[in-house]
Structure 1
Amino acid sequence: MDLQDQLKSLFPDHVPSEEEKQEEKSNVWLQDEPLLCKYEKRKGKPVTIIAGYNGADSDFKILAKEIKTMLSVGGSFKNDEILIQGDYRNQIMEFLKEKGFNVKRVGG
């Protein structure tokens, strides 16, 4: 039994509003050009790099935080690129496609 079912049993007359239903969507600007998802080794460690976003920096930082939270890994936002520790190209590309972004894989 998940949290929604428990809440329904406690409050059977409650009808969820539109704001509660749309809470899942993020307010990140979608662009026409594809994001570039590439893999590099820096100082012997694997790093996944997402580049090519031409929207606001704050939106790109929000996207970086969502990716890091989804994968439970560390990373950073530097020089208009998201750096994710480890090789997570496939998972990141699937996540970005679900968000509505066009993604292009660069490299092997």
Structure 2
Amino acid sequence: MKSKSSSGGLVYSTEAGRMCPACRQPIAQCACAKRASVPAGDGVARVSRETKGRGGKAVTVVKGVAVTTEALQALGKQLRTACGSGGTVKDGVIEIQGDHVERVMAALQAQGLKVKRTGG
């Protein structure tokens, strides 16, 4: 019979929710996620419009912004407010509901980021 430490350890706790497999802390207090929170990139924010997998609805997608997770959340909120639209931040990608490519590019350039339009 394997012990907890050799089988990977605790993954979920009813007290704290999901647990980090590396540091064995709750995800909200994970120390390893904070160290690796800045994604590697070339410093260019890429803005595109996508409709795949969304029932034909357009979504403006921003990828490649090399900032921390907290700063990315704040940037996503600023962009949603500037566009007057909903959206989300998932896996280092900001998604804004609707076709707001030009407005998002202008807002990112005003903050001093290099911006490039990708896709058609």
Corresponding residue number in structure 2 for 1:75: 87
Query: Which of 51, 56, 63 matches 2:68?
Result: 56
SS at match of 1:45: coil
- The structure showing larger relative contact order (alpha-carbon pairs under 8 Å, at least 6 residues apart) is 1
Number of positions where the alignment pairs a residue of Structure 1 with one of Structure 2: 78
User: Under a length normalisation based on structure 1, what TM-score does the superposition of the two structures give?
Assistant: 0.68
SS at match of 1:70: helix
Deviation at 1:39, TM superposition (A): 0.8
Which structure 1 segments of 5+ residues have no match? 1-30
Question: Given residue 101 of structure 1, which amino acid in structure 2 is its aligned partner?
Answer: L
CA distance in 1, matches of 2:108, 2:42: 13
Give 1:1-108 correspondences, 5 Å limit: 33-41=43-51, 42-108=54-120
Query: Deviations for 1:9-48, whole angstroms, at most 9, x for unmatched residues?
Result: xxxxxxxxxxxxxxxxxxxxxx861101011002210000
Which structure 2 segments of 5+ residues have no match? 1-40
SS at match of 2:117: strand
CA distance in 1, matches of 2:64, 2:75: 13
Deviation at 1:83, TM superposition (A): 0.5
Residue pair 2:61, 2:93 contacting (<8 A) in 1 also? yes
Question: Given residue 102 of structure 2, which amino acid in structure 1 is its aligned partner?
Answer: N
Residue pair 1:35, 1:51 contacting (<8 A) in 2 also? yes
Identity %: 35
Give the structure with the larger helix fraction.
Answer: 1
